[in-house]
Amino acid sequence: MYLSPELLNQRIAELIFEKKGSDVKLIELHKVTTMTDYFIICSADSDVQVRAIADHVEKQLRNEGKKVWFKEGYKSAGWILLDYIDVVVHIFSTEVRAFYSLEKLWSDAPTRELKDELTD
């Protein structure tokens, strides 16, 4: 099943919010690199929640016909990466996210905060 990167971003954000992910940001990379079009970054309160969010995103998208191309970080779980080619999802524990600070690394790319439509 094909989902445009924009629709995939929206769906991934919905799935993250279902597992109570927080501080969800969308970084638009297509103007600054050819690596991918978007990063979605979110935080979780614990390694268990990091895994729960990653598992939920991967399972639900797979059930909807969208398989992850590459995944990494399940052993350490402080940072799990799910690569959907056009969209790369970074799920961090709060501490690990602060340490790596991807938002600062990609500060030349437009970034916006994504909100949970159900709670706002």
For 14-45, the pLDDT digits (tens) are: 999 999 999 999 999 998 999 999 999 999 99
Residue 113 burial class via C-beta count within 10 angstroms: exposed 0-12, middle 13-18, buried 19 and up: exposed
Residues pairing with 112 in the sheet: 26
Listed as ranges, residues in the chain with pLDDT below 70 are 1, 118-120
Tell me what pLDDT residue 117 has.
Answer: 75
The angle subtended at Cα 108 by Cα 107 and Cα 109, nearest 5°, is 90
User: Quick one: CATH architecture of 5-113?
Assistant: 2-Layer Sandwich (3.30)
Q: What is the pTM of this model?
A: 0.93
